[in-house]
A and B are shown apart, each in its own frame.
Chain A
Amino acid sequence: MKRNLFLKIFFSYLVIISLSFFVLHLLVKDKVDKIITARIEQELMHYAELVDLNAPQAISGHLQVISKISQSRVTLVNAQGVVFADSEKEISGLENHLYRPEIQSARLRGTGRAVRYSSTLGVDMLYVAVVIKDREKLSGYVRLARPLHDVRSAVEQVYQSIFLAMIIGAIVSLLVALFFAWRLSEPIRIMEEFTQRLRQGLPVGFLRLQTTDETKTLAENINYLVEELQDKIQLANEEKSKLMTALTSINEGVLILNREERIEFFSTSLAGILSGHYEDFLGKTLLESFRNVELQNAFQSFKNTKTGASREIALGGADPVIMNVSLSEVQGLPGEEKTMIVFHDVTRLKKLERIRTDFVANVTHEIRTPLTAIIGYLETLQDGALDRPQDAKRFIDIILNQARRLNRLVEDLMTISKIELGEVVLHFEDISLSEIADNVISLLEAGAAAKAIKIENHIPKDLPAVKADRDRLSQVFVNVLDNAVKFTPDSGYVSINSFAQEENLVVSITDTGGGIPREEISRLGERFYRVDKTRSRELGGTGLGLSIVKHLMMAHGGKMEIESQLGKGTKVSLFFPVNKG
């Protein structure tokens, strides 16, 4: 920058100087030539007139003197052109000079001059001739000749001084150029460095200049722009980070496809939902990353219609996640249209929805079954069975049984809804688990004995007491043990054990029953969910037992877990939080 500027200034000075010298040369050159030649001619003329012909005997010495003084060759020619004296040459060898131009011109006008190549001396010569008159009669000529390079050297001397002046001028202009270049380029150089740092993103601060001219205003403008730019960048960054925080922290998965239909942005929550690696999906197409036909079709139809759409799509293979997928267009620059896809996980919602509809269907079914029996037998009685006391008694027994079952069902339902609504008030007291188990076993012993099932209580008597509601805890044990007895084939075992695990006291009830298929276990706490639909009802269950247990354990701050192996048996574990008080 500095160098360029300096060179520019320097060369422009140089061009101006050379140009002026050139013009000077054009104007002066001929004149100088002429003036100098004329002056020399004049000089030679004067010398010529000095030649005295009145002393013919001494003429040779005379010529030598004049030749020396005038630094020229002096030749005397008579009126016929015959050379009769010469300062440098033997006259005998010289031809007639009458027709030399300078002589001719002298004959006509009194004086004559000529520039000519001299064959005698072998150089360009300037010849000057003057007529010699003897009493008004032409008697001969004096001719002086001087080599032309003498004339030229005089001219060159003038030129030398002109050239010297030119070099001095050039040196001066170089210095001036240096000075101006430095003065001009210094602020520009500072600004250049400043903007360079700005470009590289280094911290710049403010641009300060010591000048007062236009560069100062320029620097101020740059400062203003930089400030403005930094404000804008900061604002954009803040906006971006806000947006990114929002996008990454929401539960919904967000995905943005660029114009080439490749994934450009992928929110971390979506990566979590689909348990994929974040980087894996960037730059991939929708089809490549999801392998889902429905999603691809949704995207295709969105692309064709360009109207926002939303639909439910099951993603993943074996254990699908149901996503509510909505597509919308992101308005960008023209030709930069992007597509945003928002994934909302509705798997849980769907499941709850199914549980609710199942529940309504189950309740009506559970209530209708005993009601149908009751109504049927009552109609039979009405149709005349009443008159046959033996049948009537049997029917009434059945009706009573069914009515009791209906009652149990309603009671269970009430319990469960009360627990769910939080209306059950638990009266906490210190309770020995071993004692409760013994009490419940004594209640169920009759039923167990009928199937030759042994119930063993291995809970140590000195186990620390837990804080619980006595009645509710009894209900939990009754429900679990009742199930164990019901689903264990004849002459099986049911054993109750206890152990401490982390913060909990665990009571496990293990039976040797048929077990429960793995995929059913997760649904066991649902109301009316039965593993073996017909058998359970035959055994008189309401389908609410384990659901009540689950809710009661939750009300006690504990939980219920079930492990099972088909054909081997089931283990129900009840977790009680350890009483720290």
Chain B
Amino acid sequence: MEEKRHTSLHYEKELQAIKDGLIYLGALTETAIRKAMKSLSDRDTELAREVIRDDDEIDRLDTDLEERCIKILALRQPTAIDLRFITTAIKITGHLERIGDMAVNIAEKAMQLNEEPQLKPYIDLPRMTDLVGGMIKDSLDSFIKSDLEQAEQVRRMEQVIDDLNEQIFRELLTFMMEDSKNIHRALLVMQVSKNMERIADHAKGIADMVTYMVTGECVRHRTCNMLE
């Protein structure tokens, strides 16, 4: 009896460590995209370099977390909710790692844009960054708290980001039509916006995994129900 309690306590700690690791990774990626956007809006190339450097840490944490999850799968052979928790965690670290890569993409574009005069003052992009940062935070929150309502909110938010991306795209089109010299810069900004939109997609992916973890129901694709 004593022995069993000890083991489960240890197991509990391992699960908590996975949780903590995910939050830490989430906070890192959120900081990364905020910094990447700041490097663009403040024209701070040094900050952009920092984002690219810090991505190594995100990659390292990603593999580390994944390894720990696999170890738990192998040694503890979790079942039911624990099993879904671990598999979800593995998927979430994948999403977060991709988000980190996109922050690097944005930072690279920022470095290129900083070489040239500013095309236009950025208003929608910082707003988008705040919303996307909030989505990452909320999606992880919903994971920690197993909060379906919050996961649903993140999914709804994704549509708002899509619309913002669309709006930025149209605005940049006018710049390009005005003057063909603008095209290069406008395309770079467009890529930044596109990257942001894809980060939002990943946040939504995390929210979908949370719904799966809590209910065991797949909401990722329209075809999910058909498969069942």
Q: Which residues of A does B touch, CB under 8 Å?
A: 285, 287-288, 291-293, 296, 317-318, 517
Contact = CB atoms under 8 A, between A and B. Distances in A.
Contacts of B188: none
A263 to B, nearest CB: 14
A288 B134 CA distance: 15
A285 B20 contact: yes
A317 B28 CA distance: 12
A317 B30 contact: yes
Contacts of B20: 285, 287-288
Contact of B23 (A287, A317, A318): A287
Contacts of B23: 287-288, 291
Interface of B: 16, 19-20, 23-24, 26-28, 30-31, 34, 121, 130, 133-134, 137, 140, 144
A296 B134 contact: no
Given A317-B34, A317-B130, A318-B130, A287 B137 contact: no
B34 A296 contact: no
9 closest A-B pairs by beta carbon, nearest first, are: A318-B130, A293-B27, A287-B23, A291-B27, A317-B133, A293-B28, A287-B20, A293-B31, A287-B24
21 contacts: A287-B20, A287-B23, A288-B19, A288-B23, A288-B144, A291-B26, A291-B27, A291-B140, A293-B24, A293-B27, A296-B24, A296-B27, A317-B30, A317-B34, A317-B130, A317-B133, A317-B134, A317-B137, A318-B130, A318-B133, A517-B121
A317 B24 CA distance: 15
Nearest to B145: A288
A113 B137 CA distance: 116
Contacts of B16: 285
Contacts of A317: 30, 34, 130, 133-134, 137
B3 to A, nearest CB: 22
Nearest to A320: B34
A245 B19 CA distance: 35
Contact of A287 (B27, B30, B121, B130): B27
Contacts of B28: 293
A517 B144 CA distance: 39
A317 B29 CA distance: 12
Given A285-B16, A287-B27, 6 more contacts: A287-B20, A288-B19, A288-B20, A288-B144, A291-B30, A317-B30
A291 B22 CA distance: 10
Contacts of A292: 27
A280 to B, nearest CB: 10
A296 B22 CA distance: 13
A296 B30 CA distance: 14
Contacts of B137: 291, 317
A355 B190 CA distance: 35
Nearest to B121: A517
A487 B72 CA distance: 67
A287 B18 CA distance: 12
Nearest to B16: A285
A208 to B, nearest CB: 48
A358 B134 CA distance: 32
Nearest to B20: A287
Nearest to B21: A287
Contacts of A287: 20, 23-24, 27
A291 B134 CA distance: 11
A291 B140 CA distance: 10
Contacts of B133: 317-318
A287 B34 CA distance: 18
Nearest to B144: A288
A446 to B, nearest CB: 34
A293 B61 CA distance: 13
A180 to B, nearest CB: 47
Contacts of B134: 317
Looking at B19, B31, B130, B140, the one whose CB has the most chain A CB atoms below 10 A away is B31
A464 B120 CA distance: 48
A292 B137 CA distance: 11
A454 B104 CA distance: 53
A273 B151 CA distance: 26
Nearest to B137: A291
A235 B34 CA distance: 51
B137 to A, nearest CB: 6
Contacts of B144: 288
Contacts of A285: 16, 20
Contacts of A291: 23, 26-27, 30, 137, 140
Nearest to A289: B23
Contacts of A517: 121
B141 to A, nearest CB: 8
Nearest to B31: A293
A292 B28 CA distance: 8
Nearest to A517: B121
A288 B20 CA distance: 7
Looking at A285, A317, A517, the one whose CB has the most chain B CB atoms below 10 A away is A317
A560 to B, nearest CB: 26
Contacts of A296: 24, 27
B32 to A, nearest CB: 10
A178 B28 CA distance: 79
Contacts of B34: 317
A115 to B, nearest CB: 70
Contacts of B26: 291
Nearest to A285: B20
B127 to A, nearest CB: 9
A517 B122 CA distance: 11
A517 B134 CA distance: 24
Contacts of A293: 24, 27-28, 31
B27 to A, nearest CB: 5
A288 B27 CA distance: 10
A95 B23 CA distance: 118
A291 B121 CA distance: 30
A287 B24 CA distance: 7
Nearest to A295: B27
B72 to A, nearest CB: 19
Looking at B24, B134, B140, the one whose CB has the most chain A CB atoms below 10 A away is B24
B11 to A, nearest CB: 15
Nearest to B134: A317
A293 B31 CA distance: 8
A58 B23 CA distance: 131
Contacts of A288: 19-20, 23, 144
A253 B16 CA distance: 26
Contacts of B27: 287, 291-293, 296
A291 B130 CA distance: 15
B96 to A, nearest CB: 13
A287 B27 CA distance: 9
A293 B19 CA distance: 14
A296 B23 CA distance: 11
Looking at A287, A293, A317, the one whose CB has the most chain B CB atoms below 10 A away is A293
A162 B144 CA distance: 84
A291 B29 CA distance: 11
